[in-house]
Every structure is written in structure tokens, then in C-alpha cells.
Amino acid sequence: MKLSKKIKKIIKLKSKRKLVCLTAYSKPIAKILDKYCDIILVGDSVATAFYGMKSTKEIKLDTMIAHNKSVKKAIRKSTLVFDMPFNSYRNIKEAKKNIKKIFKKTSCDAVKLESNGKNFNILKKLVQSGIPVMGHIGYTPQYKGKFKPQGIKNNEQKKLINEALKIQKAGAFSIVLECINSDTAKKITNRINIPTIGIGSSNSCDGQILVFDDLIGLSGFYPKFVKKYINLQKIIENVLKKFRRDVISSRFPSKLHTY
Ligand code: KIV
């Protein structure tokens, strides 16, 4: 398979420096992130973080396409990855049909598939047909129930290492490791040649990804693996208090804001 310059660069970075990755769901946010990120993922986390749905499984393909189109408008240098929603890649026919539509409508650089421990062949066939694919193992919300860190027990560790090796063999250009125990994440990162991108999986990974809304404190979701850089919710509340006070007291709009 002929890889694009962007994808080749992502693979090369494994041995050079850590990869910086974040999610984005809209053009204004992607415009800010583009300069600082190697990869921007339009994650299916848009379901819970943006739409307030109970599960990422609820988001539909056309909604994901709309968010990717918005994000793509701001991308200048980073690699845009489309997160395939639940039930959009159950077999190779369905995956190819949906990905054809995705690339036509969004011009993204790659797609991400969550591993269910069985869909390696679908991934392999997609790569063989020229589609750059990012894998995703560990806590994979589309296929796992209640949240639980992964790879702690010996047998779980072996299973995850094996899964990563199979995904590499199938031709993926990188793998997201979600909430995987640090020892297991380190072993996977050392065993494979493609970059591992961790979320809650320690600094042994080749790169890090977070949901942007979590990073800025807008989602109200603070699991252990999210560093609290800023509480944007509080900052917005302070602005709103001032706005409310100004409107009620007629201080806004002043002459300055009036025609
Ligand atoms: O949907 C998403 O945001 C993701 C990241 C957590 C990797 O898959």
C-alpha cells in the first residue's frame, strides 16, 4: 500500500518524539488545535461529550460526517482521523461502502476502528484496498460494558499484546491504547513498530490523546487520566454572571455597543 506523506510522518515520529493528539468536533476548535497537534481525531466521543447521549454507540455515521466536514475546514498540517461509529464496519462490504462515502464527503486522512478482538480481517482488507487505518484496543467503549482499566491480570496482558501484534500485522499505521495498565502499555509499545497513542495508558506510549472537552474542563468528566489544565466551565460561569448583572442593570449595551 502507498502511504501518504502525512501517514509516513506519523509512523516515523515513533522513534523521534512523542505524538500530540486531541479530539475536535468543530472548525473553531480544530483551528486552534491544528498548530499544536500531530493528529486530530473526530472521535465518536462527540456522542457523549457534545450531544449528551448515554453511549458512543448512539452516534450515527451522517452526524460523524458532518463534524468531520466542519473540522476539515480548519486543518492545515495535522492528520485528520475519522472515528468509525458503532455498526458502521461489521463486515468488509459495509466498511468499504461507508468509508468510500466518508472519504468523498470529508477528505479525512485515515479512519479509526475499535477492535472487538475479532475484526482484524476487516482491518487487513481495508488496508489492502489503500485505506489508512488506526487501531484501538483496551477499553473500547463500542464493545465493552462498564468502564474498567485493562491489561492488569497476566492473561489480559497477553491477550492485549497479541491483539496489538495482530493489528500491526493487518497493516494499521498506529494504535490507540485506552486505559491500559502501564506495564502492559510499555510492553505493547516496545513490541510493535507502529506508534501507540495512549489515553489513560501511561507515558510509555509513543503519543498521547485526550478528549479536548475533558482537557479544558468543559465536560465535567474528570477520570484519573485527565490532567486538569483549566476549568473552562468556571471561567464561562464568571463571564455569564457579569453578563447577567450588566443586562439586568442596563449597563449593557452601552453607547459603545449601540448604533
Ligand atoms: O472517541 C474518542 O474520542 C476516542 C478517543 C478516546 C481515543 O476514541
Structure confidence by residue, pLDDT tens digits, 199-251: 999 999 999 999 999 999 999 888 999 998 999 999 999 999 999 999 999 99
Q: Among the atoms of ligand 1, which is closest to the Cα of residue 141?
A: 8
Question: Based on the number of CB atoms within 10 Å of its own CB, is 10 exposed (0-12), middle (13-18) or buried (19 or more)?
Answer: buried
CATH 3.20.20.60 fits 5-228, yes or no: yes
Q: Identify the pLDDT of residue 113.
A: 98
Q: Identify the pLDDT of residue 2.
A: 83
Q: Is the CB of 40 inside a 6 Å radius of any atom of ligand 1?
A: no
Q: Is the CB of 171 inside a 6 Å radius of any atom of ligand 1?
A: no
CB 122 within 8 A of CB 92: yes
Q: Is the CB of 47 inside a 6 Å radius of any atom of ligand 1?
A: no
Q: Identify the pLDDT of residue 220.
A: 87
Cell of 15: 522513534
Q: Is the CB of 208 inside a 6 Å radius of any atom of ligand 1?
A: no
CB 65 within 8 A of CB 84: no
Q: Identify the pLDDT of residue 15.
A: 87
Q: How far is the CA of 225 from the centre of ligand 1 (A)?
A: 13
CB 212 within 8 A of CB 230: no
**Listed residue (83, 88, 130, 81) closest to 110, CA to CA:** 81
Q: Identify the pLDDT of residue 228.
A: 86
Concerning whether 178 is annotated as a catalytic residue, the answer is yes
Q: Among the atoms of ligand 1, which is closest to the Cα of residue 197?
A: 7
Q: Is the CB of 214 inside a 6 Å radius of any atom of ligand 1?
A: no
Centre a 10 Å sphere on the Cβ of residue 179 and count the other Cβ atoms it contains.
Answer: 21
- What is the chain's length? 259
Intervals of the chain under pLDDT 50:
none
21, 23, 42, 71: residue to mutate for ligand 1 pocket, most atoms within 8 A of CB: 23
CA distances from 3 to 8, 11, 129, 131 (A): 6, 10, 12, 9
- What is the C-alpha radius of gyration for the chain, rounded to an integer number of angstroms? 20
Task: Give ranges for CATH 3.20.20.60 in the chain.
Answer: 5-228
Entry pTM: 0.97
Question: For strand 196-199 and strand 207-210, is the pairing parallel, antiparallel, or unpaired?
Answer: parallel
Q: Identify the pLDDT of residue 221.
A: 85
Centre a 10 Å sphere on the Cβ of residue 237 and count the other Cβ atoms it contains.
Answer: 11
